[in-house]
Amino acid sequence: MLILFVFSLFGCQDAPDAPPVGEKTPPAKAEKGGAKSGYEQDGKGCEPEYRALFDQAVVELHGTGTGDVVVVTDPLCWHCRLGHKLLEEYPAKYGRLRLSFFPRKGFIGSDMAAWILEDVAGTDRLRPYADYAYTDLKQPKTKDLAEARMLVLAQFAEKFPELLDNTNLEELYVRMQRDHEAHVLESAAMSREAELPGTPTLIAGKSVLVGFGPAPWLDALDAKNICE
């Protein structure tokens, strides 16, 4: 049986009383540190609440190997970006890779990035959109949630002009929120119910790793401890 690893460094974590993303909140400071320690159980990745995160996620990327992996993630979380880069560099270590979004309060507007990625899920646009979200997308410098979302959307539209075919930014914002906000909020709620304290979280078979560490992530992928 594998151990559920927690890294007190290399993770993005909200304060314990952070309200759900989607509500306006007081100004938030940038997140530092990582997940809480003392969170160890055997083989937890096979339990229903973790399998449900994979089943509910709609953004699916593909490696060249075998095995199902889900990452609980926020596109603007720096350590999530390191995890995304690592997984891109080692595609032979997994088959299906799904992203379950858990927007952090300190990365205001990141839920819009999640909506956009869900919007292009299942298309050939997903990979370039995901790579952009996890590399070049910039954190909006505003404390207003609606403005932050619009600034994120505008960055995507500048990079991918096809987003504005037969529409404009305001109409696109409304559609993205209508079509994807509820699902992303559900994903975040499921992460809280699974008692995940932050992002990124890698779930690979029986392994659950809260926080980012290159060697432990690669070890978990190599273990191939598939849930039966």
String of DSSP letters for 104-168: -TTSTTHHHHHHHHHHTTTSTTHHHHHHHHTTTPPPPS-S-HHHHHHHHHHHHHHH-GGGGTTS-
- Look at residue 15 and tell me whether its pLDDT is greater than 60: no
What's residue 11's pLDDT?
66
- Look at residue 20 and tell me whether its pLDDT is greater than 90: no
Residues 6+ apart with CB under 8 A from 121: 58, 59, 60
pLDDT class of 16 with cuts at 50, 70, 90: very low
Least confident of 14-18, 65-69, 134-138, 139-143: 14-18
- Give percent of the chain above pLDDT 90: 74
Residue with tokens 């759900």: 20
Q: What is the Cα–Cα distance from 131 to 85, expressed in whole angstroms?
A: 9
Q: Does residue 69 form part of some domain?
A: yes
* Domain at 201, CATH number: 3.40.30.10
pLDDT class of 17 with cuts at 50, 70, 90: very low
Q: What is the mean pLDDT of residues 15-33?
A: 34
| Domain total in the chain | 1
What's residue 28's pLDDT?
30
How open is the CA angle 108-112-118, to the nearest 5 degrees? 140
What's residue 225's pLDDT?
77
Q: What is the Cα–Cα distance from 189 to 197, expressed in whole angstroms?
A: 12
Least confident of 3-7, 37-41, 174-178, 220-224: 37-41
What's residue 13's pLDDT?
65
Q: Does residue 164 form part of some domain?
A: yes
- Look at residue 191 and tell me whether its pLDDT is greater than 90: yes
Higher per-residue pLDDT: 184 or 28: 184
Q: Does residue 189 form part of some domain?
A: yes
- Look at residue 64 and tell me whether its pLDDT is greater than 60: yes
Name the nearest CA neighbour of 162 among 129, 115, 127.
129
At 7, list the tokens.
């890294």
pTM for this model (two decimals): 0.84
- Look at residue 39 and tell me whether its pLDDT is greater than 70: no
Q: What is the Cα–Cα distance from 142 to 224, expressed in whole angstroms?
A: 43
Q: What is the pLDDT of residues 79-115, one digit of tens each?
A: 999 999 999 999 999 999 999 999 998 899 999 999 9
At 183, list the tokens.
């699902």
Domain that holds residue 137: 39-223
Higher per-residue pLDDT: 196 or 41: 196
Q: Does residue 3 form part of some domain?
A: no
pLDDT class of 44 with cuts at 50, 70, 90: confident
Q: What is the Cα–Cα distance from 158 to 97, expressed in whole angstroms?
A: 27
Q: Does residue 157 form part of some domain?
A: yes
What's residue 24's pLDDT?
33
Q: What is the pLDDT of residues 146-185, one digit of tens each?
A: 999 999 999 999 999 999 999 999 999 999 999 999 999 9
Average pLDDT, the chain: 85
Cβ contact 60:98 at 8 Å: yes
